[in-house]
Structures are given as C-alpha cells and as structure tokens.
Amino acid sequence: MKIWWLIVSGLIGLVIWWLLPKSSPEAIQASPTMQAPPRVMVEELEQGLEFWLDGQQLPPNLAWRVWLSTNAGAVVGRATTTGQRLLVPWTRAGLIPYQVDVGSHQIHGQINRLPSKAITPLKLNIGARAVRVNANRVPALVLHPIDQQGNVSNDPIQVQINRPDGTLLQRQIKVKHLLAWTWLPSGTKTGLLKVQVNTQEARGERGEVDVLPNLTAQAQFQVQARTATSDRERLLLSLTNAKDQFGNPVLNGTSVEFFAQNSIWALFSTRTLVRQSAEVKLPIPEQGIFQSTGRIDNWKSQQKTIKAEPNIRPSSIPIQLNNQILEVGAVIDQQGALLDDGTPVQIEIPLLNNSTYSIRLPLENGRLQWQLPPLPSSARVLYVSIQGLRLTVPLQ
C-alpha cells in the first residue's frame, strides 16, 4: 500500500512541477552597468546574416538577441557579449527589419539583402506549348532565375528564339516583380519554335513551342456527279488540299463534315482529315438529285449536285404469288447481270393495329422463293423492296 502512495504522490508532484510557471528564456536580465546602447553591425554572408555589437564598456556575459521580421515570421537569434558574432541563418533577399535587445536597450534597423547571381539550371515555363500560327493565343516565356539561396536573381536574361520560318530573334529581358517574361511570336510557318535562355553564368534547357496551322482558309470539295442506287455502288464525296491562310497544310486529325440532301433524304457524316484530305464513300439509298457540301473549320464548300439513278428497272423484277408462295426473280441490273447473292429483299405485310410483319431475305442466283406465313384476315397487301425500289403485291 505504501508503494502506491509513493507513486501517486510522485506523479502529483510531477504534474504540479509541470504546471508551475517557468522562467522564460525571453526574460533577459538587464545589467545595470551598461549606460549607452552599443552599435549593431551586420554583414551578409552566404549562410545568413551575421550580427555583432560594437560599443565601449560592454559588460561580459550579457545576453542579447536579434529579432528579424521576415515574411516567414520572426526569426530570433541569441548570444552573449562574451561570445563571438551571432549568425542568423536567414538567406532570403529583400528588406529585412530587425530589432536587437541588449540590456535595457532596444535597437531597430533594417537591411536590404540583394539576390546573388542566377545559377544553372534556369527553368523555363512556356505557355501555351502549342499554338496556331498568327492566332491570338500567343505563347509566352516566364522565368524565375534563381540564385544559390533560392532568391530570384536580378540578372538580365538573354532570350534566343528560333522560329520555324528560320528567323532568329534575340532579346534581353529584365527581372521585374520577381519574374522575367516575354511573348514568343510564332510567325506564319508551322514547325517547332525553339527557345534558349541564359544569363552571364547560368543556362537552361531548351524550350519548345509547337507552331501549328491556323484554321482552314481554302480546300477543294469534290463529288461523284452521277451514281447508281445499289448496295455495291458507292457515292464518293471528298475534301482535299485543305490549307490555312498562309498556305500551311491543315493539321491531320481535323474534323471534316460531309452533308447532302434532297427533299426526302439527308446525309450526315464526320470524317478525319489525313494529309489534307478526307473522304466518305457509301451507297445512296434512293434515286434523285442531291445537293452536297463539305465543311472544315470555318470553311464551307459550294453546293455540288449528285444525280442518283436506279440500278435496276421496276420492269425487270418479276414477282409472282401462287398458293401462298412468293417468287421473285430473276432480278437483273442495268448492265444485265444478276444481282449479287445476298442482296436483301425486304418484305413487309401490314397487320392490325399499325403493326407490320417484315422479313428481310437474301436473293440467291437473283431469285427468291418464300412461303407466306398464316396471316390474319386483315392482311391485304405485301410490299417488296429491292435496292430502293418498292413494289406492291396484292394478297389473294
């Protein structure tokens, strides 16, 4: 039991000791012997600022301290008059107010620490890194030349710009508000704009800007003027020779839109520009005359006319319906050939309630034979569609 009391008493004692106010290290005992304040001397070193006191009759072992008022807060250093100089490890450039407490005296002052020479590597910030020629998104170079201590150096920067058109621009830019910057005019030719920077003693890696073509200003739109309505014949629309206002080839991958329409049908297609050209090749669903256009960026072509004619004649489709068996064919095209095996024949039979029985069957050797399913009495007619031609067959 006694041992417990001892432990508890000890713990309580520890807590009380911990709670008692301690003598603060800031409480500097003033010496009554020093009458006049000493002179405060400061020297800038690589490692920081070195302070020392210069005065007569400095009492020995007198504690003194230095307060630096910095943008990172107060930085405090302490020493005694017996000791050596006081080094405060503050290396940032700028105006630094300080206060020295010695004895009963407070001495105020300030020091303007200047940055030193910029060091290698200089780190370039370039934006934008890809621009169109002569566009309003002009790239710029932004640079913070840093000295050994991490301060922005005041050294002037030499900038050398190699443009894609071969011209060389040289500039000297000054550091202002802790940064140096300049526009990088890209010119009118596409390619790689190269930027090099250096100061007297420092260099950086090369910076680059991709100078890309501007929006399309000229192109050629072509269509196949006459075509046939067949699954196998294809209408061709193409856009070629796309260039910007300076004659630069428009960038690969640019979107190209093709559009065609008549009073019934309309075509929409988006393709990708590759080596200044894009095309779309597809069957045309019905005969007729269509107006077509192509568009890329702001450039839109003139309308061009396409005439589509049927691949087969209605009179060349023999159809018979005997004993619920539908026989189609042989179907031949304009050239007198059988239609390809697999050419779809769409059969539609309207039923009750706006519903339709439809089936798509292929031609084989130009022919089709199909037995009708048992149809409700409401079925009156069936439609046969082949390559855009639609024929009506009354049901018996």
Partner 1 sequence: MTVQSEPQGRPYLYWALGLALLFHGGLLVNQSFVRTYDALIHIFFASHYTQNWFDPWETRWYTGFFTIAYPPLSHQLIAVFSFVIGLKAGFALVQLLAVLILIVGVYRTSSLLFPGAAAGYASLAAVISSAIIETVHVFGQLPTTLSLGLLLNAIPWVWAYVRYGQRLDFLRAIAFTAATTAAHHITTIFGSVFFVAPILLILWLEAYRIPRVNEPQRWRWAYRIAPRTYRALLYMVFTVVSLVVVILPYLYWSRTDPILQVPIPHASRDSFLVNTSAGLMFFLIPWLSTGGFFLYALYKGFSTWTFPVALSLGLLALLGTGGTTPLPKMILRGAFDILTLERFTFWACIWMLPFVGSAIHSALQGRLAVWFDANFGGRIRAASLVVFAVAMLASAIYISSLTNLRKFQPEPIEITPIINFIEKDEHWRYRYLTIGFGDQMAWLSANTKAQTVDGNYHSARRLIELTSTPVERLDGAKYAGVPGLGSLEQFVTMPERFHLKFIFANDAFYDPLLYFSGWQRLTRLENGIVVWEREDIAPLPERTPRKNLPTILAMMWGIFPPLSVCLVILSLWLRRLPSWNLARLSPLVIRTWLFERNPTDAPASRPPWMKRLPALNRVLNFQRRHMWVRAARVGIPILGLMAVLLVYFARQPTPEETVLRYWDAYDFRRFQAAYAQLEPQNGLTYERWLLDLSIVGGLRSGYAKLDRIETKVLSNDGTRALVRTRLFWVTSLFEKQEEITDTLVKTARGNWRILAYPALKPRSVERFSEDANVAYYRAARRLTTNTTSSFDVLDRPQLAVGQSRLVRYSLQRNVIGLDGVSRIIKEPTLAVVGEIENLDPRPADVTLTAILRDQNGQELTRNNAATLMQHKLLPGERTAFRVDFIGVDAPKALEAVKSVEIIAKAVVTGHDLERSLATWVKRKQQNLQLEVSNVGASEIAIPQILTVLHDKQGVAWLSANYLLESLPPRSQITWQTRLRLPTDYQVLQIIETRQNSKTATVFDATQEVIRPAMLVPMVHPTLRGYRLQQKGFEVKP
Q: Which of residues 230-289 bind partner 1 (CB under 8 A)?
A: 231-234, 251-255, 257-259, 261, 264-272, 274-275, 280-286
Residue of 322, 376, 394, 396 interacting with partner 1 (CB under 8 A): 376
**Stretch 280-339 residues interacting with partner 1 (CB under 8 A):** 280-286, 293, 295-298, 339
The distance of Cα 275 from the centroid of its chain, to the nearest Å, equals: 23
If the CB atoms of residues 116 and 160 are measured against partner 1, the closer one turns out to be 160
Which residues contact residue 267 at a Cβ distance below 8 angstroms, ignoring those fewer than 6 apart? 258, 259, 260, 261, 282, 290, 292
Restricting to residues 124-153, name those near partner 1 by CB under 8 A: 124-130, 132, 135-140
Restricting to residues 42-71, name those near partner 1 by CB under 8 A. none
The distance from CA 313 to its chain's CA centroid, rounded to whole angstroms, is 55
Q: How far is the CB of 266 from partner 1 (least distance, A)?
A: 5
CA-CA distance, 223 to 76, in Å (whole number)? Answer: 82
Q: Are 100 and 40 in contact (CB under 8 A)?
A: yes
To partner 1, the closest distance from the beta carbon of 71 in angstroms equals: 23
User: Does residue number 395 form part of the binding site for partner 1 (CB under 8 A)?
Assistant: no
Nearest distance in Å: CB 303, partner 1:
11
Report which of 376, 257, 81 is spatially closest to residue 395, judged by C-alpha positions.
Answer: 376
Of the pair 81, 227, the CB lying nearest partner 1 is at: 227
Instruction: Report the C-alpha gap between 139 and 195 in whole angstroms.
Output: 11
Residue 297: CB minimum distance to partner 1, A: 5
Under rule CB under 8 A, how many of the chain's residues touch partner 1? Answer: 77
Rule CB under 8 A: is residue 84 a binding residue for partner 1? no
Site map 179..218 versus partner 1, x via CB under 8 A: --------------------------x-xx---xx-xx--
Nearest approach in angstroms of CB 114 to partner 1 is 28
Long-range contacts of 202-207 (CB under 8 A, 24+ apart): 202/117, 202/118, 202/119, 202/120, 202/121, 202/122, 202/145, 202/155, 203/120, 203/121, 203/122, 204/120, 204/121, 204/122, 204/123, 204/124, 204/143, 205/121, 205/124, 207/124, 207/126, 207/141
What whole-number distance in Å separates Cα of residue 31 and Cα of residue 38?
13
Residue 355 in contact with partner 1, rule: CB under 8 A: yes
Least distance in angstroms from the C-beta of 341 to partner 1: 6
